[in-house]
Structure 1
Amino acid sequence: MSDSIIKVGEYNTLKVARAFEFGMYLGDGKDVVLLPKRFIPAGLEVGDKVKVFVYHDSEDRLIATTQQPKGVVGDIVNLQVVSVTPHGAFMDWGLMKDIFVPKSKQITGMRVGGNYLVKIYLDEQTGRVAATEKIEHFLSNDHITLKELDQVDLVVYRRTDIGYVVIINNQHTGVLHFSDIFREITVGDQLKGYIKNIREENLIDVATGKPGYQRVEDETEKVMRLLQENNGYLPYNDKSNPDDIYSFFAMSKKTFKMTTGNLYKARKITFTQTGIKLVEE
C-alpha cells in the first residue's frame, strides 16, 4: 500500500464511498477502508468527507476509527503496559486494539502497569503500527532547523543534576533547566515550550510556555485570579524578594514585574507601598 492514498498509523481525511448496515467504506472507490458502524458520526452520508485514524484491528484487517489514539506514527509518547507475552508487550494507546512492543524493541523488559516512553513506528515487514522503547537513535542534534524563540512540542525524557532532558518535536534533545520550571513535572509529560538558546555543539536550552510578552500575557490571568482569591490585595510588588515572588506566583521576579506592569497600564490594578491591589470597577 505504498502508493495508497490511505496512510496507516496516521489521520486521513477520506470521502465516504459506500454505505452498508455494518459500516461505511472510505476512500476513492478502489483503495478503501472500512469505518465500522459504531464509529460513524451522526449524519455522515455517501460523498461526505470524514477525518479518521487508520490501523489494523485485532483480526489484522485495515480499519478506520474516529477514536483518537494517544500518538500517531512518528510520535514519542508515554504509554502504560496492559499485558505481557513471551513475544512482547501490549500498551494502551487509546484504541480498541492495544499497540505492540516486540521484545527486541524493549530495553530491560516491560512489566504490566508500568509506564514507558516509546516511539510509534510503522513496521516495514508487516505494515502494522508498532512501538519501540529504543528511541535514542531517532534523536539527533546534528542538523537543527530550529532557531531561538521557535515554539516547540516537548516530551520530558529524563532527570539530570541541572534539570530535565527533553525531546523536542520528536527529533532533537534539549535541557529544561530547574530555574525555568514553574510546576511539578515528571518523565513522560508532554509540554508546550520554546527554544531559549542554542549553544555551541548544537546544545539546546528550552523553556515552557510562550516566549517574550506572549508568555507574560498568559501570566496575567494567574495574577488576576490570585488577587480575586485574596480579597483584591496581594503583599507583593517590585521591591519584594525574588524568592518570595517565585514561591507564591511560580514565576520569576522579571516576569512578575512585566505582568503587573501590563495590568497597571490596562488599569486593572494599582500599586501600593506594600503590594498590588485590584481596581474596583
Structure 2
Amino acid sequence: MIKVGEYNTLNVLREVAFGVYLDDGAEGILLPKRFVPEGAKTGDAIKVFLYHDGEDRLIATTQKPKGVLGDIVKLKCISVTPQGAFLDNGLMKDLFVPKSKQQRGMIPNGEYLVKIYLDEQTGRLAATEKIEPFLSNDDLTVKVLDEVQLTVYRRTDIGYVVIINNMHTGVLHHNEIYRDITEGDQFKGFIKKIYPDNKIDVAAGRSGYQRVEDEAQKILRLLNENNGYLPYYDKSDPEDIYSFFGMSKKTFKMTLGNLYKQQKIALEKTGIRLV
C-alpha cells in the first residue's frame, strides 16, 4: 500500500524514455529520468518520496524533502497568492499553505514553523501554521530519560516551550540552555521530568552517564589536540566552558570527575592535564 507524503520502497515496473514507472499495484507511478538511480532496471527496488506534481498527478522522487507527512518544520515562503502561500520543502513543487491555515499572513522570504498534513478533500500534501490542535499531552508516548526530538516552539518567561516528537509539548528551562536558540530549531534531547498533570520538562543532549561517556571522549580528544593541557577546570566560567567544549558546566564537572577516577586526567590549579 503506497503512502502519499512519505518514503516508499517500490519496484521498477517498466522503463520508458522519460524515466521509469514504479509498481503501485495499478498503472504505476512515474519516477522522472533525472531522479532515476544510475543502473536501475526493471525489478529493482528504489526508495522514493511520493507527492502530487503541479498537474495533480502522483509522482515519485529520490529528492529528500525538508519535511514529510506529520513533521513540524520551519520552511521559507517562496510566493503568496490570494488563496495562500507556497513554502520551499526542497522539492520541485512547493508546499501550499491555505490562507485559512495561516496565523497572521505570510510574506515572501519569511520563515514559518508549520505542520505538514494531508488535505482530506484533495489528498495532497499541505501545511498549516495552526499546530496546537495536533499537540496533546493527554496520552503520553514518552517516559523519563527517553531520547526525543525537540522543536523549539515559543519563548516564555521560564524558558522555551518545545514540541516533543511532533506530538507533545514540554518546557526547556533557561538554566538548561547553553547556546542561542530560536523558533523552529531542532535538536535531540531527553525527558527530564513528567509531572502528575502530564506537563513535561526536557533537557538538550543525552541523558545521564551516556552523555558523560560521549563528552569524556570529546575532552580527551581536545586534550590530545592541545598538547595534553587545557586551561579549564571546575571554577571556569560556564559560558567559557560551553564556548569551548559545547557542554554545560554541570556536565563538564561530571565528566572531569569520571575521567579523574579513571586516572586519565590530572586536575591542576588552573586547568586539566592528560595523564
Taking structure 2 as the reference length, the TM-score comes to 0.92
Aligned CA-pair RMSD: 2.0
1:129 to 1:276, Cα distance in 2 relative to 1, 3 A: same
Question: What code does the residue aligned with 2:141 have?
Answer: T
- Post-superposition offset of 1:78: 0.4
Question: What code does the residue aligned with 1:26 have?
Answer: L
Asked if residue 51 in structure 1 is aligned to residue 47 in structure 2, the reply is: yes
- Post-superposition offset of 1:241: 5.5
Asked if residue 38 in structure 1 is aligned to residue 29 in structure 2, the reply is: no
Answer yes or no: is the 8 Å Cα contact 1:242–1:252 preserved in 2: no
1:161 to 1:225, Cα distance in 2 relative to 1, 3 A: farther
Question: What code does the residue aligned with 1:33 have?
Answer: I
Superimposed CA distance per residue, residues 159-197 of structure 1 (whole angstroms, 9 cap, x where no aligned partner): 111111000111111001111112221110011111000
Q: Match for 2:151 among 149, 155, 158?
A: 155
Q: Match for 1:108 among 97, 104, 109?
A: 104
1:29 and 1:136 map into 2 onto residues whose CA distance is: 37
Q: Match for 2:195 among 195, 199, 203?
A: 199
Asked if residue 10 in structure 1 is aligned to residue 6 in structure 2, the reply is: yes
Answer yes or no: is the 8 Å Cα contact 1:245–1:252 preserved in 2: no
Residue 61 (structure 1) aligns with:
57
Residue 168 (structure 1) aligns with:
164
Residue 133 (structure 1) aligns with:
129
Identity rate of aligned residues, in percent? 68
- Counterpart secondary structure, 1:43: coil
Unaligned runs of 5+ in 2: none
1:20 and 1:96 map into 2 onto residues whose CA distance is: 21
Taking structure 1 as the reference length, the TM-score comes to 0.91
Question: What code does the residue aligned with 1:84 have?
Answer: V
Aligned 1:262-273 pairs, distance under 5 A: 262-265=258-261, 267-273=263-269
1:155 to 1:244, Cα distance in 2 relative to 1, 3 A: closer
Unaligned runs of 5+ in 1: none
1:202 and 1:148 map into 2 onto residues whose CA distance is: 11
1:74 and 1:165 map into 2 onto residues whose CA distance is: 19
2:172 and 2:45 map into 1 onto residues whose CA distance is: 41
